[in-house]
Amino acid sequence: MQKAKMLVSASMMLGLIGTIGTASADDRFTSPFGPDDQIGAANYLTSDVTLAASKLISEGKVYSLGMEVSRDTPAFAPRGVAVTVFSPGQSGNKTIGSNAGTYNDDMFTGWLGVGTQIDGLGHLGDHHTYYNNNHAEDMVAATGLTKLGIENVPPMATRGVLLDVAAIKGTDRLEGGYVITLEDIMAAQKAAGTEIRKGDVALIHTGWLDLVGKDNELYGTTEPGLGLEAAEWLANQGVVAVGADTWGLEAVPHEDPSAFFPVHVKLLAENGVYILENIVTRDLAADRAHEFLFVLGQAKLTGAVQMIINPVAIR
């Protein structure tokens, strides 16, 4: 499988470079949960929310929402991963101990934003200002984030809602660059027979992930995705996270082609809403499973910005 080239336009990069500077406090990034808050919308995850979500289980059917990850998985450049397996001290068919034991170990080399992943609140900001007015100079170190690291994200066990936008548009796969509007979200919500509520995880099915392994080049150079109005509406409903079966959640190119991932800034930095990318939604869509218990417990790698994940849906 040929690795896709994840392209960011020159105008995007110029826009990013132009934002370099020291930021001051900005009301857009102030947490409603207090000056020390580091978990954002995850504050909505209460025992009552989890208990209510658990009652959605009627069949006991479990869905893996994570994709398989390998050296060939297309990823946003320059990201990539590799697993190297060792059999320490066993070259030449050597064994260990009186029982002739053998073992293998593996070493992971790569980026944590490959495949199905969660974006933490320290991932994207504006003028080097991140969620809850945390500034880069105070939190970004080569050895890891000192605030907003992925280790702060609590386990998620809440109601998941599938919004099948491809279905309401009468297609198996939305076109690259298609901007998902608020009207689309409302129509998909109506088709699902439910309403987005505080504490939910909203997952969007576009059909885009089906391109992986078939046309990696197309998959990685464009994508359908959320527009700003739809993203802001979801955040205002109190969702904990928004995910999709795309590599970047928002439309590429965006409504404003010169902007650098503005939906990421809107959700992560302004609202503390987590982003889930490359979510395998096809089985949920095929079963028309629109409400389910969503479960996620990511690896707590201290200071990490994001993490490869395998969330689970149970209905």
What single string gives the DSSP state of each residue in the chain?
-PPPB----HHHHHHHHTT-S-----GGG--TT-TT--SGGGGG--HHHHHHHHTT-SS--EEE-PPP--TT--BSTT--EEEEEE-TT-GGG--BTTTTB---EEEEEE-SSSSSEEE-TTS--BTTEEGGGEEHHHH--TT--SSS-GGGPPPEEEEEEEEEHHHHTTSSSPPTTPEEPHHHHHHHHHHHT----TT-EEEEE-SGGGGTTT-HHHHHH-B-EE-HHHHHHHHHTT-SEEEESSSSSB-BS-SSTTSSSHHHIIIIIIH--EEEES---HHHHHTT--EEEEEE-----TT-SEEE---EEE-
CATH number, domain with residue 164:
3.50.30.50
What pLDDT is stored for residue 26 in this prediction? 84
Q: How confident is the model at residue 24 (pLDDT cuts 50, 70, 90)?
A: low
- The whole-angstrom separation of Cα 40 and Cα 111 is 24
pLDDT band for position 257 (cuts 50, 70, 90): confident
pLDDT at 2 over 70: no
Share the mean pLDDT of the chain. Answer: 93
Nearest to 6 by CA among 291, 182, 223, 158: 223
Q: Is residue 102 part of a domain?
A: no
Residues 6 or more apart in contact with residue 303 via CB below 8 angstroms:
141, 143, 144, 145, 146, 149, 150, 151
Average pLDDT estimate for 189-207: 97
Report which of 59, 292, 305, 36 is spatially closest to residue 156, judged by C-alpha positions.
292
Q: What is the pLDDT of residues 108-142, one digit of tens each?
A: 999 999 999 999 999 999 999 999 999 999 999 99
Q: Calculate mean pLDDT across residues 59-82.
A: 96
pLDDT digits (tens, 9 = 90+) for 209-235: 999 999 999 999 999 999 999 999 999
Confidence of residue 169 (pLDDT cuts 50, 70, 90): very high
Q: How far is CA 269 from the centre of its chain?
A: 14
As a whole number, mean pLDDT of residues 15-21 equals 41
The residue segments making up the domain with residue 168 are 10-80+108-314
Is residue 285 domain-resident? Answer: yes
Residue 3 domain-assigned?
no
Q: Indicate whether 63 belongs to any domain.
A: yes
What is the radius of gyration, based on Cα positions, of the chain?
Answer: 20
As a whole number, mean pLDDT of residues 13-24 equals 42
For 139-161, the pLDDT digits (tens) are 999 999 999 999 999 999 999 99
22 CB-near residues (< 8 Å, 6+ apart): 127, 128, 135, 137
CB atoms within 10 A of CB 276: 25
Task: Give domain status of residue 1, yes or no.
Answer: no
Residue 276: phi, psi to the nearest 5?
-115, 125
Instruction: Report if residue 143 sits inside a domain.
Output: yes
Q: What's the number of domains the chain is made of?
A: 1
Percent of the chain with pLDDT over 70: 92
Residue with tokens 């504050």: 43
Average pLDDT over residues 251-262: 93
Q: What pLDDT shows up at residue 14?
A: 35
- Structural domain includes residue 176: yes
DSSP code per residue over 89-105: T-GGG--BTTTTB---E
pLDDT at 12 over 50: no
- In angstroms, rounded to a whole number, what is the distance separating the alpha carbons of residues 170 and 167? 5
